[in-house]
A and B are shown apart, each in its own frame.
Chain A
Amino acid sequence: MLPFLVLLAVTLLWFLLPLIPALRELYRPTDIAPLKVVDRSSGHVAYFARNFKQYLERALPVEAGAGDYSGRMLEGTEFVRINLRPAAITEAEQRTHNRIVVFDTPLTLEGRETFLLEVYARAPLVFGPRTVFRALYGDRELVLGEATQVLRWTHATGKLTVGQQSELRGRVSSDAAVVLGSGVRFERVGAPVISVGAAQEPPPPPPATPQSFPLPEGAQQIGDHVRIAGDLAIPEGVQLNSNLVVAGRLRLGLGAIVVGSVKAHREIVLGDEAQITGSVVSRTRIALGQAAWIGGAAIAEQSVRLGRDAVVGSPTQPATVAATDVELANGATVYGQISALRAARTL
């Protein structure tokens, strides 16, 4: 019996050996907390910017008197405040700044600076070309020069103007407006109005007595939308008052109007001056012709392209453009937010 008990013990021990990490975790847990569900709207376009502002309010010491000042934040990070002598920063031989920079005075910078830590502009500021920022927060208007690079996020309480060929990584936001130059690349932008060059207005409401468009045979009413089995082309100048789900492609001719929301399983193409008053969703891509308008969200799993002077949303009806890739032609305007999973760019 004893030899068997020895065998049994050896076998059991050997069997349980790989279970030791599991038993340790069971009796001395190291990973027992619930997953952290971020409850503060972390997806918001200005989330990081707001966090940084709160951090500044907590950690930036209130210095006595006026003037330039360098010191440390309450938790130890170095910072410099530029008030009287902007030259303190622009004339520095080394144009790479490894501390938080606080601008307290309106200023036009020459450009080519590199800010390795955040920049906080309390006054309106004009940056020169080829400046590199880690992150940038402005309490007033900000103008970014040509070929600016921002690595993390940008926020301006006032209007934010972005120079051509700039690259803005992360989240870009303004409480007033964002004006993008040509050749700008970005990921997420949010503002009451975002435009490439001068902002465009949404079109006037559709006419009350439109030229109606009969739906094709086989169109099926499902709840509050009509389902079309194949492709659908809505001809020039007509108006359709219905929510639509199109299993194929959807094309709207010149000036055609859909009063309602639309979804297509393949691409959606809005001809010049065409309008869809509600949301537009495509499993592939959405293309808006010149001066076309979408009143609600424009969501595509591949790409959204806004032609010249095309508009999404309106001042009273904010909207989101979201896709893997987004392209905006000159004059394209979005009232709300643009999100590109891979990249957005202005033409």
Chain B
Amino acid sequence: MPGKPAPVAALAGARQREALRVRGHKGGIIAPHRAMVGLRWNAWRFLTTLLLVVGALVGYLAALPWLGRGWQLLFLRARDFLGISAPIGTQTLELVGGVRFTLPVVATFTPLPDTRVLWIAGIGCTVVLLLSFLLPERFTPLRYFLRLLVLVQTSAVLFFGFAPDPFPYRLEDHVFILLTAGLVVMGLVPLLLGLTLHVFDLALWRKLVLTVLILGHLALFIPLNALVHVWLILQGTAVLMPVLFLVFGLLLDVFVFVTFYGWALSWRGSEGRDAPPPVHLG
């Protein structure tokens, strides 16, 4: 009919028509099958990912001197709180690009185990090993984990009991490596998130919040964990150092990252709950 608007106009444009297209007669959304969906990469996501990664990295590097000072302060306070009589020194590091910062150093002797301690450690290992066999089947992962601990701890007992060479690490080295490796993990967080999280359709603020949460968490967890190590080694001697270093060091930092990551990927996408996921077209 001349003069009348085209009926398509009644659908208020392509957007509404598209919404209508994916809604079933019962009102539900007809999402493409999960086997057919993927993600679309667009300029906006690329740009925001780049900004988030670079921004977080620059921010982290800029915050390193404060972080070092904060850790230093925490170590000093904790030393007094725990009643440790070791002096807390500093070690200055300089990164490529001129970023300088200091890390706390526990400048004290490293207690070595005597025969009594080795016997206690050996008996402890045996008890834990037996316990691992007594646990019911549903605790199988715990059983395996305990045996792993026993394995590493036994190696330490054997080393201190029989090795002719002196133990090559001091408490100072242990803490320094722990803190430095933690800092490296923190530096990797923005990059890893860029590769594995920012590619998803989460809102920008969520990505930003997650970056801050992980870095914030690790910024406190790494020195706290190191302080726990310090106390345990000072009380329990260097016989605990291998198990603390190999099992309760870097792996815990990675575990924290995985935990946050799993939580973040459970968040709703930026396109809203009802929006169908995008589909690949060839």
| Least Cβ–Cβ distance between B43 and chain A, in angstroms | 21
- 26 A-B pairs with CB atoms under 8 Å apart are A4-B82, A4-B228, A4-B231, A4-B235, A7-B224, A7-B227, A11-B228, A15-B252, A18-B213, A18-B217, A21-B262, A22-B263, A25-B266, A38-B33, A48-B30, A95-B10, A113-B7, A117-B25, A118-B25, A130-B8, A134-B20, A149-B8, A151-B17, A151-B21, A341-B282, A342-B282
Known: A7-B82, A18-B263. A116 touches B231 (CB 8 A): no
Is B195 positioned at the interface, with any CB of A under 8 Å from its CB?
A: no
Q: Is the CB of B221 within 8 A of A15?
A: yes
Give the total number of A-B pairs whose CB atoms are below 8 A apart.
Answer: 102
Write the residues of chain B forming the contact surface with A, with a CB cutoff of 8 angstroms. Answer: 1, 4, 6-8, 10-11, 17, 20-21, 24-26, 30, 33-34, 78, 81-83, 213, 217, 220-221, 224-225, 227-228, 231, 235, 252, 256, 259-260, 262-263, 266, 281-282
CA distance A19 to B20 in the complex (A): 40
CA distance A112 to B20 in the complex (A): 18
Chain A neighbourhood of B235, CB < 8 A: 4
Q: Is the CB of B4 within 8 A of A169?
A: no
Closest 8 CB pairs between A and B? Answer: A324-B282, A114-B7, A96-B10, A11-B224, A18-B259, A21-B263, A151-B21, A114-B10
Is A223 positioned at the interface, with any CB of B under 8 Å from its CB?
A: no
Q: Is the CB of A3 within 8 A of B25?
A: no
CA distance A218 to B156 in the complex (A): 64
Q: Is the CB of B231 within 8 A of A7?
A: yes
Q: Is the CB of A8 within 8 A of B81?
A: no
Total number of A residues with any Cβ neighbor in B under 8 Å: 47
| Least Cβ–Cβ distance between B236 and chain A, in angstroms | 11
Write the residues of chain A forming the contact surface with B, with a CB cutoff of 8 angstroms. Answer: 3-4, 6-8, 10-11, 14-15, 17-19, 21-22, 25, 35, 38, 42, 48, 51-52, 55, 95-96, 110, 112-114, 116-118, 130-132, 134-135, 149, 151-152, 169-170, 301-302, 324-325, 341-342
Q: Is the CB of A14 within 8 A of B224?
A: yes
Interface of B is mostly: helix
Residue of B21, B213, B225 touching A169 (CB-CB under 8 A): B21
CA distance A152 to B228 in the complex (A): 62
| Least Cβ–Cβ distance between A283 and chain B, in angstroms | 13
Q: Is the CB of B256 within 8 A of A18?
A: yes
Chain B neighbourhood of A19, CB < 8 A: 259
